[in-house]
Amino acid sequence: MEKENRLANDRYKIISKFIEKNRLFIFTVGILVNISPLIMGEQNLDKSEELMFMDIPVVIASKVETPLRETPGVVTVVTNDEIINSGARDLQEVLTLYVPGYSFVSEAEGVILPSFRGISILEAKVLFLVDGLQINERIWGAPEQVGGHYPIDSIEKIEIIRGPGSVIYGDAAELSVVNIITKKPTTSGNYLSINNSQMSKTFSHRGLSSGFGKKLGDLTFNSNIELSFGNRSERNITDYYGDKASMLGNSKVNTANFNGLVEYKDYSMRVYINQNRITQIDMWGFNYKNGPAKENWDTYIAELKYNYKISNNFTLTPRIEYKVDYPWILNVVDEEYTNHKRGERKLANVTGTWKISEKNNLLGGVEVSRSGVYLPDNPGPFEEMFKNGTNKIENDNFAGFAQYITKIDLVNITLGSRYETGKLGTAFVPRVTITEAMDKFHYKLKVGQSFRSPMGIQPNRVLPGAPKIVPEIATTYEAEMGYKITHSMWFVVNGFDITINNPIIYGADPVTGVGNYRNYGELWTRGLESEYRFYGNMIDLTMNYAYYFVMDNDVLTSEVPNNPRLTIGNPAHRINAIAGIKFNPNVSLHPSASYFSKKYAYLRWDDTLQEDILSKIDPATEVNINLRIREVFCKGTEVNLGVRDLFNQRMDIAPGYKSYKNSTPGLSRAFVLKLMYNF
């Protein structure tokens, strides 16, 4: 009881202090929220605009098309129109602005990865999908390298579960699921897009994106092709031991992406190819001095699927997939740092959907897979050798899952569970969700479990004599309430409580420096998130807020010693706002701002004290402006002119754990030009 009272008092002090420091911002927001309908009057929105923020259909949370307010999960949808309005240049910027709870941290070798609800996603805790295909790499489970990656002009919309998704998607969906849904040119139109984002000394983003589709009777073909080139920063980087080096020309991200879909009646085949080429000097606490290191992140996926409609109400969907990836492929002058492992997954899945009645729906399926990590045929002298004496580590896995949705007089109830077992462990996770959408009000109540199994190379990194690592289990409680204030205004707030038991923790041997894994203790965070939307004939406004605090943290590498309510690298408060000012149907201006509260990170080593120094990173706000002009030269043409980081805050990206590396320098102010043609 004493501990609970102390925690409650701490939370009160944190919130009071935040309100005191930001009272002008909060007051301004309150005024905008309350007077916007008075200024604009009652808006005459067309049905598509109303659906966009009230009842847009989504499938990510249940694989059954359900209105957003009733879907069994806390879900955010970001549309293509919103992405263009924001002027965002890559997926990192889209998620930062539009999705409460998301921010980003840096990892070794200059890699940028997401952080969610105060928990850094250094490995398989968040699942990233492209058109339903899992793109998390299979060696460590990371959702690939996000910074400067994933060109966005081919995106139709993004659906995000802000919460667990393991019941439907398996072990990598412990905390959140991001599904990038790409354009189908046969229905949305062919397109061509070019862009350039110029900082003072070099460009940050340049790219070409195109989509083409053709329909010939029952046969359709859709393809999206993207080429992008980027520089991480034009500034100097200071490593953990104080040495400085220039990132100008030494930190590039170049990507080639192909996504092709062929459909014939109820058959489909998709091929996804992503080649990500990186050069960087940010290694493991030190700047690499033998020129920029070259690193590849390549992914190749092929999928075959058939929708077998047994009846009007029952569909059986068999699916097979083959995936091979080459992440963290490091080629440097010094062979000691070379890595040439590849990951593979072969998967077969059968899912059945039965619409029992208008108010009852049943979903179920089984899945078998084989995942492996493989060394090259002729490994170098410094390649990590496997303890089993072979050049491969393989795991056969079986999973079965089921979900039942029923609508009764007052509520919708979703019951689901998943059982998954393999050589690396067994997990059973259930979930229960209650939702209801009335005229203006909706609510959701959810409790469920999710898991993360040991993946890829991790079992090979267990120290001799240490216990075998087992799946970590997360238990999440969520509640959401939303209210349609007027015909054109919506407010929603949700709270969450996440407890991860036996988290799989990365560490390093103090003598050899070799990384290792073990289960350790508990990580427990709580918080709230909210979103406000106003759509008018002349003005739009979208705002979101996210707050987390730590209840318990046994993970020593992520705790902040002088502030136990925070985790390393993660700000407690995140606020985003984007407005739209419509001068006429073809011209609109979109200012946006993102606020990050203070955060902490171990950024340097002190030779005098012979210890790591914890540094406080002050709060910062990034402001952007984008001018969107449609039908410029002819029908279907569009020009976007923008400024990113208007006041040149140049926010660094802090490491997400005590990793003996400094922050990765962020981008500088940039002027952006994008030209698009839809035909």
Name which of 24-33, 402-411, 547-556, 582-591 the model is least confident about: 24-33
pLDDT at 412 over 50: yes
Per-residue pLDDT, averaged over 111-134, amounts to 91
Indicate the pLDDT class of residue 448, thresholds 50, 70 and 90. Answer: very high
Model pLDDT, residue 493: 97
Nearest to 557 by CA among 609, 504, 507, 617: 507
Predicted confidence (pLDDT) at residue 1 exceeds the cutoff of 80: no
Q: Find out whether 600 and 566 touch, Cβ atoms under 8 Å.
A: yes
Q: Compute the mean pLDDT over every residue in the chain, rounded to the nearest whole number.
A: 88
Q: What percentage of the chain reaches a pLDDT higher than 90? A: 63
Altogether, the residues listed in the chain come to a count of: 679
When mean pLDDT is compared across 159-168, 262-271, 523-532, 554-563, the lowest value belongs to 554-563
State how far the Cα of 69 lies from the Cα of 493, in Å rounded to an integer.
Answer: 12
Chain segment 463-501, per-residue pLDDT in tens:
888 888 999 999 999 999 999 998 889 999 999 999 999
Distance separating alpha carbons of residues 599 and 620, to the nearest angstrom: 10
pLDDT of 6 above 60: no
Mean pLDDT of 323-343: 81
Contact criterion met (CB below 8 Å) for 499 and 475: yes
Does residue 544 carry a pLDDT above 90? yes
pLDDT at 378: 80
Q: Which residues contact 89 (CB under 8 A, 6 or more apart)?
A: 152, 195, 197, 204, 205, 644, 672
pLDDT at residue 18, rounded to an integer: 52
Q: Per residue in 56-68, pLDDT tens?
A: 888 998 898 888 9
**Residue keyed to tokens 């490994």:** 379
| pLDDT score at 37 | 47
Q: Where are the alpha helices (DSSP H) in 114-226?
A: 166-169, 185-188
Contact 548, 103 (CB under 8 A): no
CA dihedral for 124, 127, 128, 132, sign (positive or negative): positive
pLDDT, position 152: 87
Task: Say what angle helices 2-21 and 23-40 make with each other, to 10 degrees.
Answer: 70
Which pLDDT band holds residue 35 (cuts at 50, 70, 90)? very low
Q: Identify the bridge partners of residue 90 per DSSP, sorted by sequence position.
A: none
Q: Please name the helix (run of DSSP H) or strand (run of DSSP E) that holds residue 48, with its range, or none.
A: helix 47-53
- Mean pLDDT throughout 103-131? 89
Q: Identify the pLDDT of residue 637.
A: 94
Q: How far apart are alpha carbons 554 and 503 in whole angstroms?
A: 9
What value does the mean pLDDT take over residues 597-619?
Answer: 87
Instruction: For 627-660, write each residue's pLDDT tens digit.
Output: 999 998 889 999 999 999 999 999 999 998 887 7
Position 33 confidence tier, pLDDT thresholds 50, 70, 90: very low
Q: Which residue has the tokens 């120290």?
A: 463
DSSP label of 246: E
Question: 371 falls in which pLDDT band (50, 70, 90)?
Answer: very high
- pLDDT 10s digits, 232-260: 999 999 888 888 999 998 999 999 999 99
Amino acid at 456: G
Mean pLDDT of 32-51: 46
Which of 94-108, 267-281, 624-638, 654-668 is predicted with the least confidence, judged by mean pLDDT? 654-668
pLDDT > 70? residue 187: yes
Continuous segment of H or E residues that includes residue 261: strand 252-264
Q: Which of 56, 40, 36 is nearest to 48 (CA)?
A: 56
Q: What is the pTM of this model?
A: 0.91
pLDDT above 50 for 342: yes
Mean pLDDT lowest among 37-46, 646-655, 666-675: 37-46
Q: Residue-wise over 514-540: b if at least 16 C-beta within 10 A, else e? A: ebbbbbbeebbbbbbbbbbbbbbeebb
Contact partners, residue 426, CB within 8 Å, separation at least 6: 419, 420, 471
Amino acid at position 375, single letter: L
Interacting residues of 285 by C-beta distance below 8 A, sequence separation 6+: 239, 240, 241, 659, 660, 661, 662
| Chain centroid to CA 294 | 25
Q: What was the pLDDT predicted at 145? A: 75
For residues 124 and 452, the answer to whether their CB atoms sit within 8 Å is yes
User: Which carries the bigger pLDDT value, residue 331 or residue 288?
Assistant: 288
